[in-house]
């Protein structure tokens, strides 16, 4: 039921994105926010598992483990250089938001992106 509610909410909040219609510059902030909301929904239980594992296995206190895992699932720099990619950017709304943002950035004269 929750998945269906989320899908319906996404369809209402992001008109046109599910059916290959136009995405305007004005749609991008809402799409980006929806992407981040959906990502955080997916990341939250994994972050909690990592915190609990830290507490149980490494015998850290919960406060330390929460601080240590505060950026779990986010893009973070690696000690040797480079970046650890963030999780769940492959969600459809995230891919569409990124594609539209990239297209509109590269085509400043355009006001809409036609989603495939």
pLDDT tens digit at each of 116 positions of the chain:
444 434 434 444 444 444 467 999 999 999 999 999 999 999 999 999 999 999 999 877 999 999 999 999 999 999 999 999 999 999 999 999 999 999 999 999 999 999 88
Say what the pTM is: 0.76
Alpha-carbon gap, residue 54 to 82, rounded angstroms: 25
Alpha-carbon gap, residue 40 to 51, rounded angstroms: 15
User: What 3-state DSSP class applies to 35?
Assistant: helix
Cite the beta strand spans of 1-116 per DSSP E: 22-24, 76-77, 83-84, 112-114
Alpha-carbon gap, residue 104 to 84, rounded angstroms: 26
């Amino acid at each position: 039921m929750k998945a269906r509610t989320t899908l319906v909410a996404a369809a209402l909040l992001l008109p046109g994105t599910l059916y290959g219609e136009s995405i305007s510059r004005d749609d991008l902030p809402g799409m980006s926010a929806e992407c981040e909301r959906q990502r955080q929904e997916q990341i939250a239980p994994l972050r909690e598992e990592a915190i609990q594992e830290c507490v149980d296995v490494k015998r850290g206190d919960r406060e330390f483990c929460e601080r240590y895992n505060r950026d779990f699932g986010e893009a973070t720099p690696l000690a040797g250089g480079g970046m650890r990619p963030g999780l769940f950017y492959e969600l459809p709304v995230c891919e569409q938001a990124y594609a539209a943002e990239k297209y509109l950035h590269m085509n400043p004269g355009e006001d809409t992106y036609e989603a495939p």
